[in-house]
Amino acid sequence: MTEPLIIGAMVRTLGAYPSGWRQPGAHRDPSADADILRHIAREGEDAGLDYLFFGDWLATGPDLEYRDPYLLARIDPVSAVLFLAGVTSRIGLIATVNTTYADPYATARSLASLDVLTRGRAGVNLVTGAEPRAAGNHGRDAHADNETRYDRAEEFVTALRRLWDSWSDDAWIADAERGVLIDPDGLRGADLQGAHVRVSGPLNVARPPQGQIPIVHAGTSPRSRALAATEADLALIAAPNIADAIATRRDLREIAAAAGRSPDTLKVIAPVLPVVADSDAEARRIVERLLALVPLAEGHQSARTAFPPNRSVAALADALGVAADDPLRAADFDQAVSADDASRLGDDGAALLDRLGRIVGMRVEGRGAGGALTWRHLVAAHAVPAAFVVGDASTIADHFETWRDEGAADGFNVLSAFQPAQFEAFTRLAAPELRRRGLLGRADDGARPTLRGRLGVGVRDGAASSLAAR
């Protein structure tokens, strides 16, 4: 029998699409995140999802209002998973930690604590950071270069693993009659003296129920892929299409095998933004509204200093290689795209038009069921791309099944364009269909009580061998 996919939710309370918060009834107040987080956790656990995933960003600024509004103000990810530990009982909880700025002992301690408190449901996503403004927020003059960040990240992983292995499984004796609480030989130091990370240990938290807490990593650079393939349990990829996903997964597995690791212990997870409704047509209408609500360079927004420069017809024309003297550069946002206009947009423009036809059902000169495409749709879709999969439960399940069968991914990080309605649509409409097809595990699956068990990654071989080496 084929194993279910790994399916988790990437939680963004203000929604994963920049205009999602403008939808009627959408959550849009970060000060009320406690309520929406409880709701998301309840929905995700009842649907049988494997985990809730919390990313991070260590700075903010007005530019994020239009680019990634969910990053403007958000709960610290470790705080978020600790908050949800008490209101959940089965779902995994994965928090992001930036190895460039975090302390390895404090990180190992908080995550081991989470694992103990949740009986083995903790996970950690390790990132090295891409936001230069984070340096000033941590008392540094500049953000470290890529090589330095990954040198530190590799030592950070070693520190975490050694600290989590501080206690042997049988070190805690608790023999009241003899007055013996621990076996001192079962308590070990970390003894790491690296170029970037130094930690002595042992860790003053009981051994995590999972032994080694699952590690997640994402990135596209060679160093990032090497770290994911050799050290991570889940490798998060960003692939624009199934062919790229297949190639990326194959490359990661080959790197893992070359490092002496079984490729089957590395699970490759792709992002997906399903827009779900009772029918394909209704789902497409939701996407059309999301595109229509993306702020473009018109009215007062054009004067905002932080406004993105790519949200105009002229900017789209530049990106598609349209001639500088072509009059379509002056087209109005709400003007329909004519067949003559479309013929001058080149191959990239044709691909953009085809994608819009698939996700909103709209074609040039109104040839599609959804009506005519306008320049507003084109500019918004190009300026704010997303991994949209649009349709009813069957359409969403078809996508998941195809990617699994073609070897493109071992699972998905599900994003929701806005909360709570779109996450509810996924959990209540798509999740039952995924379960019916064997793509999603049972909501009450007691056979996989830990996150490591749910992910199907087993015990890392490196944990035991590193102990033997010390």
- Could you list the pLDDT tens digit for every one of the 470 residues in the chain? 478 999 999 999 999 999 999 999 999 999 999 999 999 999 999 999 999 999 999 999 999 999 999 999 999 999 999 999 999 999 999 999 999 999 999 999 999 999 999 999 999 999 998 788 998 999 988 888 989 999 999 999 999 999 999 999 999 999 999 999 999 999 999 999 999 999 999 999 999 999 999 999 998 899 999 999 999 999 999 998 999 999 999 999 999 999 999 999 999 999 999 999 999 999 999 999 999 999 999 865 656 678 899 999 999 999 999 999 999 999 999 999 999 999 999 999 999 999 999 999 988 876 656 678 999 999 999 999 999 999 999 999 999 999 999 999 999 999 999 999 999 999 999 999 999 999 998 766 666 789 999 999 977 644 433 333 32
In a 13 Å sphere around the CA of 131, the CA atoms on its Cβ side amount to: 18
Instruction: Tell me which of 383, 401, 422 is where a domain ends.
Output: 383
pTM summary value? 0.94
Q: Same structural domain for residues 246 and 375?
A: no
Split into its structural domains, the chain has a count of 2
Q: Same structural domain for residues 345 and 420?
A: no
Q: How far apart are the C-alpha atoms of 284 and 352, rounded to whole Å?
A: 16
Bridge partner list, 275 = 390
Q: How far apart are the C-alpha atoms of 217 and 207, rounded to whole Å?
A: 23
Q: How far apart are the C-alpha atoms of 459 and 470, rounded to whole Å?
A: 19
Let me know if residue 182 belongs to a domain: no
Cβ proximity of 106 and 64 under 8 Å: no
- Joined together, the tokens standing for residue 285 give 């209408």
Let me know if residue 167 belongs to a domain: no
Let me know if residue 451 belongs to a domain: yes
Q: Same structural domain for residues 317 and 453?
A: no
Let me know if residue 177 belongs to a domain: no
Specify whether the backbone of 230 is left (phi greater than 0), alpha (psi in -120 to 50) or beta. Answer: alpha
Cβ proximity of 126 and 99 under 8 Å: yes
Q: What is the CATH number of the domain that holds 258?
A: 3.20.20.30
Domain that holds residue 304: 295-383
